[in-house]
Amino acid sequence: MFGLDKKDTKFLLIVIFLTLATPILLQPFPQGSGLAQFNAGYPDLMQRFAIFGIFAIGFNILFGLTGYLSFGHAAFLGVGSYSTVWMFKLLSMNVLPGLILGIIMSGLFALLIGFISLRRSGIYFSILTLAFAQMSFNLAYSVLTPITNGETGLQVYASDPQYLMNENSLTTTHLFGLVMNKSAKLLVGDWEFTFNIGYYFCAVIAILAFYLSLRIFRSPFGMMLRAVKTNQNRLMYTGINTRPYTLAAFVISGMYAGLAGGLLASMDPLAGAERMQWTASGEIVLMTILGGAGTLMGPILGAGFIKYFENIFSKINDNVLHGWFSWMPDGLEDIIVWLIHPFVGKGWHLTLGMLFMLVVVFLPGGLVEGGSRIKNWIKRDKKPETNDDEHHPKHVAHVAEKEEF
């Protein structure tokens, strides 16, 4: 089906199911229970899961396949956002023109940066992209203020021209009348599920983006990119010019980032320069490595993981902790809260950093490797004579020829 073999079709169907059922899966605890704090099924966060999933899928096409580590991908995210908001300001609040312009602009931008940066590889490439991204950030922050509105962020005002709008037009972002921030709530017992149009819009695009990346991974073009990663010198000795391939991968991945940026602006019509800062570029690298670079599903998992920490763990304050441990004797309660305090709330970075360290040390293939290890372990329990991981370590992480998710 869809030009995929049986295994991949199954894989795709699983992804589609997981994506569409997200509002239910992320809401495992009933409202009002103490654990409701950990529910993540609200529109803003679900949208972020889908959008940063797209961003990570695109980044993985470059980093996972060719091994070129770009430290400036946030610049394309920013370009996509700014383009989209400008379309809102000039035309109407329909998201389609904005998304298209966002993809085109970030593609052009990636072509320019890629053309220069790809003359070098390894650490020099990373530093060049980092420099370009920082440059874009500083431009957006100060020099280009007439275009980007500087530190305040680009917003849509009622006084903007919006040539395609009349009095009856919608003033919130929409797709031909489907308003992005509309939600339907479903109450099942104590569980409340929120189905948001904006989320489903992002989810459908994320599925398409995933499908496209699946096809790229399986294509001869994808094979060539993997060859670049494995041994670029050997490729060049055989007379193949690798530059067009890497540049194409760079532009494609830049366009993915532009799409993600455009979607961010479509869900919330504001573009801030912080989106382009180097920390944002670093975050996408973390997502990919945490999930498993080079695997299809890994970056999406990594993106979800980091966004969950950023939004859920950062909101656990001392008040909430005291609520949880109020059943303990007073002194003990204070000690426990004092012990946990540095790791939640504003300390969420600490927890994330430790997890990242553990993953890199013990699961170099990321969360995906963890998943496949568990799978192997279960299988081995049934058939104890199968492969010995100790002496024949599985070839992991960077090549996705196997079905790993």
Partner 1 sequence: MSVFTTNRRGLIKSGAVLGTGLAMPTIFTASSAAAYTNAPTGSGVTLGFNVPQSGAYADEGADELRAYKLAVEHLNGEGDGGMMNTFSSKTLQGNGILGNKVNYVSGDTQTKSDAARASAKSMIEKDGAVMITGGSSSGVAVAVQGLCQEAGVIFMAGLTHSNDTTGKDKKANGFRHFFNGYMSAAALAPVLAEMYGTDRKAYHLTADYTWGWTQQESIAAATEAKGWETVNNVLTPLATQDFSSYVAPVLNSGADILVLNHYGGNMVNSLTAAVQFGLREKQVNGKNFEIVVPLYSRLMARGAGENVKGIFGSTNWHWSLTDAGSQAFVKSFGEKYGFPPSQAAHTVYCQTLLYADAAERAGTFNPCGIAEALEGFDFDGLGNGPTHYRADDHQCFKDVLVVKGKENPTSEFDLLEVVQVTPRAQVEYAPDHPMFAGGDLGKCNPGA
Complex with partner 1: residue 117 or 372, whichever CB lies closer: 372
Minimum distance of partner 1 from residue 404's CB (angstroms): 16
- Partnered with residue 186 across adjacent β-strands are 193
- Is 184 a residue that touches partner 1 (CB under 8 A)? yes
Complex with partner 1: residue 294 or 371, whichever CB lies closer: 371
- Is 39 a residue that touches partner 1 (CB under 8 A)? yes
**Nearest-angstrom CA–CA distance, 202 and 195:** 12
DSSP code per residue over 113-139: HHHHHTTS-HHHHHHHHHHHHHHHHHI
By CB under 8 A, how many residues form the interface with partner 1? 48
**Nearest-angstrom CA–CA distance, 172 and 346:** 32
- Is 208 a residue that touches partner 1 (CB under 8 A)? no
- Is 360 a residue that touches partner 1 (CB under 8 A)? no
Minimum distance of partner 1 from residue 183's CB (angstroms): 6
**Of 43, 48, 70, residue with least CA distance to 58:** 70
Buried b (16+ CB within 10 A) or exposed e, 323-332: ebbeeeeeee
- Is 311 a residue that touches partner 1 (CB under 8 A)? yes
Location of structure tokens 């109450």: 187
- DSSP 8-state secondary structure symbol assigned to residue 94: B
One residue of 150, 282, 364, 370 binding partner 1 per CB under 8 A:
150
Provide CB contacts within 8 A for 372, sequence distance 6+. Answer: 365, 394, 396, 404
- Count CB neighbours of 49 within 10 A: 24
Half-sphere exposure of 55 (CA within 13 A, CB side): 37
- Is 206 a residue that touches partner 1 (CB under 8 A)? no
Half-sphere exposure of 43 (CA within 13 A, CB side): 18
One residue of 147, 164, 186, 350 binding partner 1 per CB under 8 A:
186
Minimum distance of partner 1 from residue 64's CB (angstroms): 25
- Is 314 a residue that touches partner 1 (CB under 8 A)? yes
Residues 52-91, mask of contacts with partner 1 (x by CB under 8 A): ----------------------------------------
**Nearest-angstrom CA–CA distance, 154 and 297:** 33
One residue of 3, 10, 34, 374 binding partner 1 per CB under 8 A:
10
- Is 195 a residue that touches partner 1 (CB under 8 A)? yes
Minimum distance of partner 1 from residue 294's CB (angstroms): 25
The answer to whether the beta carbons of residues 311 and 48 sit under 8 Å apart is yes
One residue of 138, 139, 328, 364 binding partner 1 per CB under 8 A:
138
- Is 2 a residue that touches partner 1 (CB under 8 A)? no
One residue of 4, 30, 42, 309 binding partner 1 per CB under 8 A:
42
- Is 309 a residue that touches partner 1 (CB under 8 A)? no
- Is 379 a residue that touches partner 1 (CB under 8 A)? no
- DSSP 8-state secondary structure symbol assigned to residue 50: H
Complex with partner 1: residue 132 or 348, whichever CB lies closer: 348
Complex with partner 1: residue 152 or 387, whichever CB lies closer: 152
- Is 382 a residue that touches partner 1 (CB under 8 A)? no
- Count CB neighbours of 147 within 10 A: 12
The answer to whether the beta carbons of residues 83 and 262 sit under 8 Å apart is yes
- Is 159 a residue that touches partner 1 (CB under 8 A)? yes
Find the Cα–Cα–Cα–Cα dihedral 188, 192, 198, 204, rounded to 10°.
-50
One residue of 272, 302, 304, 371 binding partner 1 per CB under 8 A:
272
Q: How far is CA 253 from CA 54, 103, 371, in A?
A: 10, 10, 26
User: Residue type at 363?
Assistant: L
The answer to whether the beta carbons of residues 133 and 75 sit under 8 Å apart is yes
Contact residues toward partner 1 (CB under 8 A) are 10, 13-14, 16-17, 20-21, 23-24, 39, 42-45, 48, 138, 141-142, 150-153, 155, 157-159, 172, 181-186, 194-195, 197, 200, 268, 270, 272, 274-275, 311, 314-315, 317, 345-346
